[in-house]
Amino acid sequence: MARNYTLHTATAAAPRIDYQAELNEQQYAAVTAPPGQTLVIAGAGSGKTRTLTYRVAWLLDNGVLPEQILLLTFTNKAAREMLERVASLVTADTTRMWGGTFHSIGNKFLRWNAERLGYRKGFSIMDREDQKDLMETVINSSGIDTAGFKFPKPEVIGDIFSLADNTCTSVEEILKTRYPYFEKIAEQIVRIRKLYQDKKVETNCMDFDDLLTQSVRLLKEHEDLRERYQRQFEFVLVDEYQDTNSLQCEFVEMITGRDGNLMVVGDDAQSIYSWRGADVGNILQFHEYWPRATVHKIEVNYRSVPEVLSLANASIANNKSQIQKQLQPAREAKGQLPALVPLDSGSAQAQFIAQRILELQDEGTELNEIAILYRAHFHSMEIQMELTARGIPFQITSGLRFFEQAHVKDVAAFMKFAINRRDEVSFMRMVKLIPGVGGASALKLWNAWLKTDASQADVMTGKFSDLLIPMSVPKKARETWDQFAYTLDELIIDGVPQPPPAMIRSIYEGVYEEYMKSKFKNAEQRQQDLEQLSNYSSRFTDPLEFLSQLSLLSGVDTDNKPDAQPEDRDAVTLTTAHQAKGLEWHTVFAVWMADGMFPHARAVEESDAGLEEERRLFYVTITRAKDELYLTYPLINHQARDGDILMRPSRFITELSMDLMEKWNVRSGW
């Protein structure tokens, strides 16, 4: 028979915080919830971080020791900001609290206990570059023939392993569902995984994912450690629970214990990261593992005007798999409904957005209070061009400017060299795409090329594939070089350069498609970029004119890279909807709101779950707007290959009542 006995700390000073005055009724109920398991559903703009911060302060004010609290977040910045806020609220010594990302907490566990798993003290943590180098060593020493098939680069293999770890599934399953074009070499990839795992132990190194996988293994295999940490962490709190993957969920369960005190805060309506392993089921089925959990809903939104919230509520209500909630506005109505703006074309869409931004600026809205959100990065291409033409400063947080991306520059290198056979920079970039060709080999090839008559002639005579340059190509690269040469032949026929769209299609289908799949984990997104580049190129008949325009657009404002820009720079923000989560602006333009674009065509084809995640992404997009929201889409989408395609508005718009929106009829005028 066992008896429970509780130690009480010395009576603390009276709390400095008037919790009821500082919090609304829903927040107060969550912050002061009794011990046990608690699920807090915090809607968009409802003060989620404030609630979690005050919960920690409440625990400390009620005698819980700082070292008994574990706060798990998704970024170190979030943990740091919350802990600093807590420190300003209470008198307790918050430096003794455990707060940080899942991986940083895992690192602490492993620093003290890694020897139990076969590692030695002082193990190294590899960054992405280190991981790539070690993987390369493993592949090269594995005896596996990587020349006969476009074998995935070490970075891609690393992403495959990472996804398997974080979703707690097998490599074979990841290949089947995410990388079907590598299924034929599944056996070799699985073998590399085993060799890679062994090599990490041998070299006393861990990669980023090991910090969590090995921590879970540690807790599973060693009951004494599991019980020790469960006793230490009297209260476990988890931020953004809707974004957890299977591995993180398992870590929470192991560190809390079935009877532990757990509070998770999140919003199922903002779960948008399944593509990187997040599982919305962790929050939707929370009660399956924690049947005694109580639920608190925080639904008062302090961000957006009621007109925006009405649209958001109506949209997310169409999802079947969700925890029901209704955002309530704290702000008064402004009288301006979200605008639905169909435009004639992608170009007209860009013109409307640029013109409206200038009008908003004249009305007193700062440029850094305006954002343009899109489903995919390539949706921003024409908008970038229009903003550049009108001198409207912008910063891109979803990646590089469209024309500065590696895959765009790779394709352009083929075109540049085909037209200008003395372009050494483009030649070197092009041949370095060939497996086995590095800097020295590329220079050797260039010198061999300069000795040919074709390199000196004003007009290309003969064919690239007939030249003697292959003699300088490394043996293992010969087959690929031949394909490169045949592709170059297709770019210039009878001495005449082909139209830009035909050139891009030949490069992509001839050599670049396979290269992208083996090199990039987001090959499909990059393919869409190249399709958009081809569509844009159809405006030009002369490839030289097209390439000149590309260079001019790439060179604009190059001293203002996103990573070098101060956050308060007065510039419009361009970003994907995924990366906009957690942010807010006075005015939001949600662009390319057409079926097949948003929602993404692939999600529509796949499953109800995929479509519901797209709707959650739409919900995240529109709830970024504080005051004004514009939903735009082109009626016609010009495709280089298929011609003009009639676009339909997104089903996320057509399923809503038009009473929630105001349709703008835009006409061209002087």
Query: Cα dihedral sign for 458, 460, 462, 468?
Result: positive
Count of CB atoms situated within 10 Å of the CB of 365: 17
Has residue 5 got a pLDDT over 70?
no
Query: Bridge-partner residues for 572, per DSSP?
Result: 394
Burial label for 424, CB within 10 Å (0-12, 13-18, 19+), is middle
Instruction: Determine which of 213-222, 343-352, 395-404 has the lowest per-residue pLDDT on average.
Output: 395-404
CA dihedral 50, 51, 57, 62 (to 10 degrees): 160
8 Å CB contact between 653 and 340? yes
User: Which pTM was predicted?
Assistant: 0.82
Binding site feature residues for ATP: 42-49
Structure tokens at 201: 């132990």
Q: How confident is the model at residue 556, as a pLDDT?
A: 44
596 DSSP 8-state letter:
B
Hunting for tokens 């592709």 — which residue is that? 487
Q: How confident is the model at residue 11, as a pLDDT?
A: 47
Count of CB atoms situated within 10 Å of the CB of 645: 12
Burial label for 226, CB within 10 Å (0-12, 13-18, 19+), is middle
- What would the mean pLDDT of 208-227 be, rounded to a whole number? 93
Q: What angle do CA 404, 406, 411 make, to 5 degrees?
A: 100
Question: What CA–CA distance (Å, rounded) separates 297 from 34?
Answer: 15
CA-closest candidate to residue 424, choices 408, 433, 412, 413: 413
Q: What is the pLDDT of residues 583-596, one digit of tens each?
A: 999 999 999 999 98
Q: How confident is the model at residue 286, as a pLDDT?
A: 96
Binding site feature residues: 42-49
Burial label for 472, CB within 10 Å (0-12, 13-18, 19+), is middle
Question: What CA–CA distance (Å, rounded) separates 434 from 430?
Answer: 8
- What would the mean pLDDT of 422-448 be, rounded to a whole number? 82
Q: How confident is the model at residue 425, as a pLDDT?
A: 80
DSSP code per residue over 434-503: STT--HHHHHHHHHHHHTSGGGT-SS--S-GGGSSGGGGS-GGGHHHHHHHHHHHHHHEETTEEPPHHHH
Hunting for tokens 């200038």 — which residue is that? 358
Higher pLDDT, 343 or 432: 343
Instruction: Determine which of 161-165, 180-184, 319-323 has the lowest per-residue pLDDT on average.
Output: 180-184
8 Å CB contact between 411 and 465? no
Q: What is the pLDDT of residues 382-431, one digit of tens each?
A: 898 899 889 999 998 766 667 777 888 888 888 888 887 777 888 888 88
Q: How confident is the model at residue 601, as a pLDDT?
A: 81
Has residue 561 got a pLDDT over 50?
no
538 DSSP 8-state letter:
T
Q: What is the pLDDT of residues 61-91, one digit of tens each?
A: 999 999 999 999 988 888 888 889 998 888 8
CA dihedral 200, 201, 205, 207 (to 10 degrees): 50
Q: How confident is the model at residue 560, as a pLDDT?
A: 36
* Alpha carbon separation from 496 to 413, 424, 461, 542 (Å, rounded): 18, 21, 10, 10
Q: What is the pLDDT of residues 141-167, one digit of tens each?
A: 888 877 655 788 888 899 999 999 999
Higher pLDDT, 443 or 196: 196
What confidence tier does 202 reach under pLDDT thresholds 50, 70, 90?
A: confident
What confidence tier does 640 reach under pLDDT thresholds 50, 70, 90?
A: low
Say if residue 599 is preceded by a cis peptide, omega within 30 of 0. yes
Has residue 268 got a pLDDT over 90?
yes
What confidence tier does 9 reach under pLDDT thresholds 50, 70, 90?
A: low
Q: How confident is the model at residue 6, as a pLDDT?
A: 64
Q: How confident is the model at residue 243, as a pLDDT?
A: 94
Structure tokens at 450: 């300069």
Start-to-end Cα distance in the chain: 89
